[in-house]
Structure 1
Amino acid sequence: MTHVVVERSFPMPQSDEDLAAAEDRLAPCSELRGVVWKRSVVSLDRRHMICEYEAPDAETVREVQREAGAAFDHIWSGEIISG
C-alpha cells in the first residue's frame, strides 16, 4: 500500500456537517477500490484541508475523489518520516 496525501482548498469555511457529507460520499467508492482513510487536518479558518490515505496508488485516490465529486487541489504519494 502507498501513503497518499490529498490537498484541498474551499472557497468558504467548511462546517463539520459539510465535511461529514463529503466523507459519506467518499466512503462507498473508497471501500470498493481499497482506499483507507487515515486522518485529516483542517486549517483553523476551515478553508484548507489535508487528508491522508493508504491506497494502491495515487491514481486510485484521484479516481475515488472524482467519482464522489470531491474537489481537490493536489494528490501525491509519499513516505512517512518518523523521528
Structure 2
Amino acid sequence: MTVVVIVAGILLTAAALITSYRILAGPSTLDRVVGIDSLMAIAASGLAVWASYSEDTTLLPAIIALALVGFLGSAAVTRFRVSDDR
C-alpha cells in the first residue's frame, strides 16, 4: 500500500508541475482555465490518495467541495469569457 501511495504522489506531483507550466505559459484564457480546472482535479485526487492512505473519511467533504468549485468555476468562465482577439 505504501508503494502505491508513493507512486501516486510522484505522478500527481509531476502532473501538477506540468499543469502549472500550462497555466503560466498558456497562450489563451481558455488554456489557463483548463489548467486551473486540471489543477483542482489533481488536488482533489491528492486528497483522495491521502484519505485512503490515512483511512480518514473526514476529507470527503473537502474533495467534493473542490470538485464542485472546479466545475462551477470553469463553467462560469467559459460562459462569460471575453474573446482574446481584440
TM-score (norm 1): 0.32
**Bigger relative contact order (CA 8 A; separation at least 6):** 1
User: Greater strand share, 1 or 2?
Assistant: 1
Larger Rg: 2
TM-score (norm 2): 0.31
User: Greater helix share, 1 or 2?
Assistant: 2
